[in-house]
Every structure is written in C-alpha cells, then in structure tokens.
A and B are shown apart, each in its own frame.
Chain A
Amino acid sequence: MSMELSILLSMIIPAVGAVLIALTGKIPNVRETVTLFTAVALFLNVLSLLGPVLDGATPEITLIEMVPGLSIAFKVEPLGMMFSLIASGLWILNSIYSIGYMRGNKEKHQTRFYICFAVAIAATLGLAYSANLLTLFIFYEVLTFSTYPLVSHKGDENAVKGARTYLGILVTTSVGFLFFAIAWTFSATGTLDFVNGGILGGKVEGPLMGLLLMLFIYGIGKAAVMPVHRWLPAAMVAPTPVSALLHAVAVVKSGVFSVVKVIVYTFGIDNLVASGSAGWLVWVSGFTIIAASMVALRQDNLKRRLAYSTISQLSYVVLAAAILTPISAVGAALHIAAHAFGKITLFFAAGSIYTAAHKTEVSQLNGIGWKMPITMTAFAIGALSMIGLPPTAGFISKWYIIQGAMSSENFLALGVIVLSTLLNAGYFLPIIYAAFFKKEKAAKHGHDGHHDHHHGDHGEAPLPIVIAISSTALLTILMFFFPDIALELAQKMIGGAQ
C-alpha cells in the first residue's frame, strides 16, 4: 500500500465509517461494531505511516488545484504524524468509552452522534495532514460544523445555547481573522504551503508581521487564547465522550497544532525572532495560563473546571511555541501529546462519575474514591500529569518547555510556568483528597428523584468505561517511561525547521 493512498485513506476510512454507521443505525450492536472496527482500521492505517515518517520521509499528495497556488494538498510531516496518531489512537478508546456512556445514560440520537464523531475524526486527520493553509482552513471548518450536533446533542435550550456560542465564536474568528490572515499571506507571498523555515521571511515587515501573527492566533479560535476562550466552557454541555475526545483532544489540539504549524512553517521561528514581533504572544498566553487557572479554581462543576484547565494547558503549547527556541518547540509538540492523554483521562473520569453516580459537581465527590477506585485512581494520574509531576507524561513536556525558557532566558515564561504549576495543584489536589479522604456528605433529598435513586448505592462505572479510562491512564504513565517516539517526531519537526 503506497503512502499516498494511506494519507487519503486516513480521511476516507472514517468518512466511509460514517456512511456505514448511518446505514446500520437501526441496529445498535452492528452500528457500534462498525464504529470500533472503523477506529481500529484507521489507527492501523495511520500507524503504517509512522515507520516511513520516522525514517525521514514526508509523503505528500495534491488532490485538487483550484487556482494556481490554491490547492487541496496533504503532506505528512512529523508534527502532523504525531497528532494523527494521538487522535486516531484515542478514538478507539473513546469509542469503547462512548458505548458504555451513551448506553449507560440512555442518550437519544445515538446514530447521529456516532456519524458526527466519525466525520469530526476525518476532519481532524485532514487537518493533521494538511500541506497548506487553505487545506488546514477547510478541515478546520469541517471540524467546527461537524461537532455542532455533538455539542447541541441534548437538544434542550441550554445545549442549543451553548452550541450556538461554540459555533458563533469559532466561525466568527476563523472567517474574520484566520481567513483574512490566510488571504493576506497569499497576497504577500503567492503561496500557502507549509515550508520549513517559513514563507513570510522578507515578505511582511516588523509590526505588520506582529499584526498578522495576531490575526492568526486569534483566528485560530480553537487554541482558546484569551479572550476567545469562551466557546470551550460553553461546549461542556456536550455528552462527556465529546468533551473528552473533541474538547480535550481533537478540536482544541487542532487549534494549538495549527498555531504551532503556523509559527514554525508559515512564519518560521527565525523570522519571528528576527522581527521581534512575537513578544506579545508570551504575555497573552502567559496571562491565559494564569487567568484560566484562577477561574478553574473557583468552578464547582467538574467539567467546567476541566474546561478551564484545558484553556490554561492549551496556552502552555502556545507559550512554548512563542518562546521561539527549538527546544521549547519540542516541548510544545510533546505537550500536545501529554495533555491529550492526561485530559482525556480526566474527562473520562468525569463522565464515569456522571454515569455511575450522576454527580457533576466537585463538592459532591467526597469519599467517592472508595466506591469508584479505578476511576478515581485514573483521575489522580491525569491530575498529576496536568500538574506536571512524575511519573506522568506532563512532566516530560513541561521539562522541555522550561528548558526552552531557560535557554532563551525568558523569565516571564518561567515565572508563569512555576506559578501555574502551583495553581494546577491547587485545583486538582483537593478533588483527589476529597475523593479518598473525606466522608461522604448526607444526601440532599427531594432535589431530583433520578439522583436519589442512584445515591449511595452506585459502584464502579460500566465495563467499557473502565477499560477506556484505565487504558488512557496507563498511556499517561507509559509516555513518561517511553517518550521516544513522541520525542523523535518532535525533534524531527524542529530538525527540519532549522
């Protein structure tokens, strides 16, 4: 099988999967088998590209050229390889989890859910492999629109409102700023390709380059740099598997992935250093890290707390890229992976608690660790990774980012990282402490009959959920001990960029 075919298959497999899911929607068992089968097939397909890419190949294919210079083209470079591996790999686990969650909660419209999920994954892979800004933009938008039905899944007023905020912010920023920036780039350079070392060198000067960078950063609303972060908490109305895979991995990572790609391949690190127009980004992302952590501290709703944590962690990646040293760029790439494993675990845990105990608030979690030991252990592992403590993946990436900050003597960035680490500990450790060491509060009766029914007599979540959550927790730890592949890919990325 040629590599070009594998690239296309990465989008075709989930797309075909979506069609098959639609056709088999009437029979849930078949439908879910199709989902799982598609996810595994996709992962194997993506995996087949890993070997060649590690060997230094960058397979590429141009699908359509609409106007000279404007084309739909794909190219697998190391960063995209890593991203696609994460997304497709976690899709398998997430599908297993979804089955447990959707059935456990008796959700409606399950077929639509699986279809949109498959489409979103197809879009994510398209984005990961995009060879130019236009292709990236297209898949970025497909991803936005295909996730709308997932966010508004519940269909009640609250869900629709949240989904509209989600869509509104992402579309406005991407069309208004990102597309504008792309058009500007094209008119300045005549190309949109991702090229090692960037394409803007000498084409756009000093302050204008800063403005263009700003358009890109805020245009990529999915990176959730403040103040365009509001969509992420709004999207938490979605069912938890959506929050887990999409709003902790696929969608938000598409954002920071795009930011890293734009900084490395469109601007070029050296060009940005030379023009000195990226200094503001350190401030903005630093501010986002701290501010989002502060907000997270005060959230009682578990998913919202996780959402703000995500915002802060995303800005780690942006910050790492903005430090503009090769080693911090490695950190950025690693953090995409590390945060993915950790955050999906945390969301899985939140969904697991919701399914088994129907609890959504942090203050309800006292003593839950003894009823749901696996879930809460996994949660603890994820939380450690967020804080950046060994033996979890978060430590590795944070290590590289700090190294980068030291090497460029960027003490602002260093300070932000130290402070935010404390804040992270501040909003995660109390949850773990309460779950294991506090006594459960007396039940509040009369609030909701449904809740009471489960109250006190729940155990661990359904089996598929437990399988999924232990796998991701395990991955978080494994990445600490075996970071080789991720590290190699990340170093290839900057190796090429220099």
Chain B
Amino acid sequence: MESFTFLSPGLYNYWIVIFLMMVGFYIVISRGNLVKKLVGLNIFQTSVFVLYISMGKVEGGTAPIFGEGFETFSNPLPHVLILTAIVVGIATTALGLALVVRIREEYGTIEEDDIQAQEDETR
C-alpha cells in the first residue's frame, strides 16, 4: 500500500468501515423488527460513505479552494459521489419506512415472525 500515499495514514479508517459494515449487516440479518432492519441498512450504507470519504483524504490536503496558501487538495470527487449516495440512501429509507407503515396497516405488526405466523394461519 506504500505506493498509494494519498491514502490517509494508517488503516484505522478501514477498520471503522468494516466494523460499521458488519454491525449494519448483522442487524439486517438478525433483527425481526422491520424498522430495526432499516436502521441496520442505514448503518451499512454509512460504512460505505465513510469508505469513500476517507479515501479522498490527502495527507496535509485542504479543501479544494483555489487561492493563496492552498496547495495540496483533498480529492473532492468522492465527497460529491457520496452526496449522491446519501440522497439515494434517504430515498431508500423513506420508501422502506413507507412500506413498513403500509405493512403495519395490513398486518397490525412490524415483527417479521408475527407476519409470518399470520400468513401461515391463512394458508
């Protein structure tokens, strides 16, 4: 990794990314509550945001402003990309929550097990 000096020093940011990712992923898989699943999904996505943003950092770099005293810039492109990704994430969460609301209207619960139980009954 030495040849890619624009990466931030050390690898601790990756450890954070991986930790967040696994936490989020675990919540999505293990929780039966539909809202908690969405929370997990958000954490999972956040980890990706961190991954992108941290890779844009250049050691000693500043915000990309043209002018006196600003010579080394951090790469702004990942930030911009992540802005888009955040918007997408919000849309997904909103839609997910809307679905949860509708599911609650129909089933009267947002617990996966209860929904499954209701379906088994009607079958």
A and B touch in the complex (CB under 8 A): no
A residues whose Cβ falls under 8 Å from a Cβ of B: none
Hey, which bits of chain B sit against chain A, CB under 8 A? Answer: none
